[in-house]
Copies of this chain bind each other. A is one copy, B any other.
Amino acid sequence: MSLSFNIHYQSPTSRARLGTLTTPHGVVETPAFIFCATKAAIKGASAQQMRDAGTQIILSNTYHLMLQPGSETVARLGGLQKMTGWKGPMFTDSGGFQIFSLGHGGVAQEIKGKGQAHRPKTMLKITEEGARFKSYLDGSLHMLTPEKSIQVQRDLGADLIVVLDECTPFHVDKDYTERSMNLSQRWALRSLAEFQAHDNGTQALYGISQGGVYPDLRRDMADFLNNQPFFAHAVGGSLGASKDQMYDVVAMSMEYLCQDRPVHLLGIGGIADIFAGVVHGIDTFDCVHPTRLARHGGALIQPHTWEELQEDPKGREHMNLKASRFRDDPEPIDAKCPCETCQTMSRGYIHHLIKAKELLAITALTIHNVSFMNRLLTAVRNAIKSESLASEKSNWITK
């Protein structure tokens, strides 16, 4: 299989569409959610458990893997898909996000209005050449250039790879944002050149939209991307300081990007975000939330479960299974959920596993949350087809 993207349904009322992203490791029906296997492993779930939970595609982080075990080792072990035993479609980022977010504070911090006061500063300097940084593992010095990022991602061997860009902090002014965007454009061209020099048809390259919260910059960036032979685009950079502003920035970014290429929304994947994103034509999402939440005892649930619990979700999307109220509860998280966890375990048992610090608690909740997200995206795809996104949303989120 080679790499291609086919849109087989385009909504007449919005930019929402259904697509098929074909990769050498299999097919992804879009819109799709991409789960984070940061260090080449989903925390708490095996590749088989991910497949059983309906997963189509996972991503790994170039930053972490270039430092440990090193991209050459991944290549010697056959590349990410063979090494992990996942074997299905995979995505890698450029490595830049972690470097810059450890320097600036990441997108999630921005949207939550948090600073990065307590983060150690590991990004040392951005120059025309690239970004110099210290390893989070041992403090060793490294340089990530656009060429190096592509070389590392070639070793890692994911199907979908991205250009190196500068992730601008959200508190910078328009001048900084524009200069940064221009740098990201030059880096994108260098990434593309490095990619094309070794392109053998097994990987596809994403260009990244920058330009912060400024419509004219996002338009300028879109013009640049549309005119280069990228396989796909990603919406990145500063998405604003609130959820509402993020949706505005996504909307303005998508307005200018050509619509025949797949579009990924970097690092965003809350339930509301997905319903908002697909309307603007976003095809894939990624977010650590479902798997991170599992490690903290949280199970994603739908409004019908809040009703069963006779509880007001107050804007929350998950059940906290650490709570002692679940100690003797013989019901599954959601009796309607087909996942292995809901088919075999009660809330009371999962509560016990959490209290007893058993690893199985993480596995059980990870399987449920992954299954939940995959069911959500299936429902979203069905709702796009039947033009019922608004009513479908009420099955997944209260408010």
Contacts and interface: CB of A to CB of B under 8 A. Distances in A.
Contacts of A345: 84-85
A359 B78 contact: no
Contact of A352 (B69, B353, B362): B69
Given A83-B348, A355-B68, A328 B39 contact: no
A41 B345 CA distance: 12
Interface string A50-84: 00000000000000100011000100111000011
Interface string A341-375: 00011101101110110111011100000000000
Given A77-B349, A352-B69, A359 B44 contact: yes
Contact of A77 (B43, B46, B346, B355): B346
A367 to B, nearest CB: 8
A269 to B, nearest CB: 22
A73 B348 CA distance: 8
A351 B84 CA distance: 12
A327 interface: yes
A199 interface: no
A42 interface: yes
A42 B360 contact: yes
A93 B78 CA distance: 46
Interface string A281-319: 000000000000000000000000000000000000000
A244 interface: no
A78 B347 CA distance: 12
A39 to B, nearest CB: 4
A83 B355 contact: no
7 contacts: A40-B349, A46-B360, A46-B364, A76-B328, A77-B328, A359-B359, A359-B362
- Listed from nearest, the 10 A-B pairs whose CB atoms lie closest are A85-B344, A41-B358, A41-B360, A39-B356, A69-B352, A77-B348, A76-B328, A83-B349, A44-B359, A77-B330
